[in-house]
Amino acid sequence: MKLWGGRFRKETDTLVDDFNESISIDGCMYQEDIRGSKAHARMLGDCGIISKEDSEKIIVGLEEIRQDVEAGKIEFTKENEDVHMNIESILTQRIGDAGKRLHTARSRNDQCAVDTRLFIRREIGEVIEETLEFLQVLKDLAAQHQKTVMPGYTHLQRAQPISFAQHLLAYAAMFQRDVTRLEECRERMNYSPLGSCALAGTTYPIDRWQTAKELEFKAPCSNTMDGVSDRDYLIELLSDLSIEIMHLSRFSEEVILWTSSEFKFVELDDGYSTGSSIMPQKKNSDVAELIRGKTGRVYGDLMAMLTVMKGIPLAYNKDMQEDKEPVIDALTTVKMCLPVFAGMLRTMKPLPENMRRAANEGFINATDCADYLTKRGVPFRDAYKTVGNLVHYCLEIGKTLEELSLEELKQIHPLFGEDVYEALDITNCMELRSSYGGPAVSETSRQISELERFLAERGW
């Protein structure tokens, strides 16, 4: 019979058992369920709501169940619907009446809310750690490539010279924001719903602060109805994960471009690429493509969760059982993508000569050429137009700006002098961009030290 079977005269249809269960999803939260129940039992004993002996028996019984689950000795059943009822009924089978007292001044509604928060809090920590490890890889790679010149793009057209380090550090900035977003999400969600009971608290003299403290929450949720029905933190986490995988996806897109023969800026390690079953020459960046593809799944999880919540009246409704699957899916996905991307980055071989060649080709020093004239008194707009004509001329005769003779340059503008060639040198063009945040070595060094501090503050 069900734990709640008293008011029923018929067994649940097996179709309904299959449909209604959540154990296949929330079974992974057994540690959290047991931890929450232990805190609850201790509080019930301390507050004199159940006897100390019963409280102690429950705590010992729960600990034994935890060990048995870990040892694979326990099989959860669908008839018991979820992790909460599975564990409670095993406890009662084992310790009798004391087990039946555990659910005093509690409901599955606050129980499932507290389990989920404990679970998510730990999971957020794991995503943060993986992201920090990822940042560490970015930092090491950036440190090696501060002088590696490459073209920076806008509209996927070569635009201005940057360094490979500057490009990588732009991603580092994104992933640092991902870390702080996750940290803030964890801060905001770290309140205990336990003791909200079904929705309206209880007439028992419970101590919600005690359970909150034991479970390392900042405080109890302030309103019991909000306590059992708030899933904002799941939506917030899914948004954070969506943004993070969007960053991974953009980065993937670049790796895919960079590995193409058209770019050839990097070569992936054999261990991080795959071949074709028909074309013997192929080496594909499947890892990056799959991460780009998995982004859709995480966005879908966010949409699912937003949609589940949009029409639910207060307080708990069964719709909310649909909350865990998308969140776990998104967490599993991001936690799989981060280390594999990190490994791909760590093992890939950048090809600086090819980056340099591409940087020499696209007139990416045209702005510098205009700046040269501007610094000699020509208004920027006029200088801009002059260099535009110069580029047009170069395209006609198949030369780069720096390949023009001084006579050719002077014909277009008399203020061009011998020192223009220095101003047009691609390395100089990159290195002279030393304004705050720019690609010059002095500025990428600053960014790298800031990243180092960010990592050190978090124990890396």
The interface mask with ligand ARG, positions 77-116, x = CB under 6 A, is ----xx-------------------------xx--x----
Cβ contact 50:205 at 8 Å:
no
- Does the annotation count 192 as an active-site position? no
Question: In this structure, how many other beta carbons lie within 10 angstroms of the beta carbon of residue 402?
Answer: 17
Please report how close the Cβ of residue 27 comes to ligand ARG at its closest, in angstroms: 11
Phi and psi for 202 in degrees, rounded to 5? -150, 160
- Establish if 318 lies at the interface with ligand ARG (CB under 6 A): yes
Binding to ligand ARG (CB under 6 A) within 413-452 occurs at none
The three-state secondary structure class of 281 is coil
Q: Give the nearer residue to ligand ARG in terms of CB position, either 229 or 242.
A: 229
Cβ contact 394:404 at 8 Å:
yes
- Establish if 196 lies at the interface with ligand ARG (CB under 6 A): no
Q: Give the nearer residue to ligand ARG in terms of CB position, either 80 or 386.
A: 80
- Does the annotation count 277 as an active-site position? no
Q: How far apart are CA 293 and CA 424, in angstroms?
A: 41
Structure-token match 């002996």, residue found = 53
Please report how close the Cβ of residue 221 comes to ligand ARG at its closest, in angstroms: 16
Burial class of residue 124, CB neighbours in 10 A (0-12, 13-18, 19+): buried
For the range 418-423, what are the long-range contacts, defined as Cβ-Cβ under 8 Å and sequence gap of 24 or more?
420/369, 420/372, 423/365, 423/368, 423/369, 423/371, 423/372
- Which of 51, 260, 276, 434 is labelled catalytic? 276
Binding to ligand ARG (CB under 6 A) within 45-84 occurs at 81-82
Binding to ligand ARG (CB under 6 A) within 1-30 occurs at 22, 26
Q: How far apart are CA 43 and CA 238, in angstroms?
A: 33
Choice from 190, 202, 229, 321 touching ligand ARG (CB under 6 A): 321
Q: How far apart are CA 110 and CA 193, in angstroms?
A: 6
- Establish if 320 lies at the interface with ligand ARG (CB under 6 A): yes
End-to-end CA distance of the chain: 52
Q: Give the nearer residue to ligand ARG in terms of CB position, either 24 or 93.
A: 24
- Establish if 230 lies at the interface with ligand ARG (CB under 6 A): no
Who's near 254: CB < 8 A, 6+ residues apart?
A: none
Binding to ligand ARG (CB under 6 A) within 324-353 occurs at none
Q: Which segment (206-214, 253-261, 314-322, 330-338) binds ligand ARG by CB under 6 A?
A: 314-322
Q: Give the nearer residue to ligand ARG in terms of CB position, either 238 or 320.
A: 320
- Establish if 163 lies at the interface with ligand ARG (CB under 6 A): no
| Interface with ligand ARG (CB under 6 A) | 22, 26, 81-82, 108-109, 112, 316, 318, 320-321
**Residue positions annotated with a catalytic role:** 155, 276
